[in-house]
């Protein structure tokens, strides 16, 4: 399906500190820094943040990162709260999605809805 995704942020340094912190809890890290953008992933960059090129109002994006376990979802949520971000939804099962969907949702520094999710099927 998709190879990678990128979003623009108003404050690259603040966004980088946030994503460095919360993505580490899921086993991801910053892999490439090209100046106005940085890429995150496990073995190659699949999520990019870049400095906004204009100042049009930001539309909220929803980003869902795969977590290796429920404990990682909880750690992600805890890290975001410790970073000072707002919780949209605390870690829990979401049976309306499916019986094995365990996720947590927070805001990033630009107001985006960022989720960590661990899914089990069957």
In this prediction, residue 3 has a pLDDT band, given cuts at 50, 70 and 90, of: confident
- pLDDT per residue as tens digits for the range 17-75: 999 999 999 999 999 999 999 999 999 999 999 998 877 776 678 999 999 999 999 99
Q: Residue 28: what pLDDT? A: 98
Decide: residue 40, CB within 10 A, 0-12 exposed, 13-18 middle, 19+ buried.
buried
**N- to C-terminal Cα separation, the chain:** 23
- pLDDT per residue as tens digits for the range 87-108: 999 999 999 999 999 999 999 9
Where are the chain's structural domains? 5-52+60-119
Torsion of CA 46, 52, 54, 55, to 10 degrees: 120
The CATH superfamily of 5-52+60-119 is 2,3-Dihydroxybiphenyl 1,2-Dioxygenase, domain 1 (3.10.180.10)
Q: Residue 58: what pLDDT? A: 65
**pTM here?**
0.86
């Amino acid at each position: 399906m998709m190879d990678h995704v990128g979003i623009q942020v108003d404050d690259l340094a603040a966004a980088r500190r946030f994503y460095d912190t919360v993505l580490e809890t899921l086993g991801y890290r910053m892999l490439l820094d090209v100046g106005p953008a940085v890429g995150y992933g496990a073995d190659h960059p699949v999520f990019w943040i870049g400095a906004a090129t204009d100042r049009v109002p930001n539309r909220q994006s929803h980003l869902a990162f795969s977590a290796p376990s429920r404990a990682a979802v909880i750690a992600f949520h805890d890290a975001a709260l410790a970073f000072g971000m707002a919780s949209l939804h605390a870690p829990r099962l979401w049976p309306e999605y499916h019986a094995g969907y365990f996720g947590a949702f927070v805001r990033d520094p630009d107001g985006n809805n960022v989720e960590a999710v661990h899914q089990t099927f069957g």
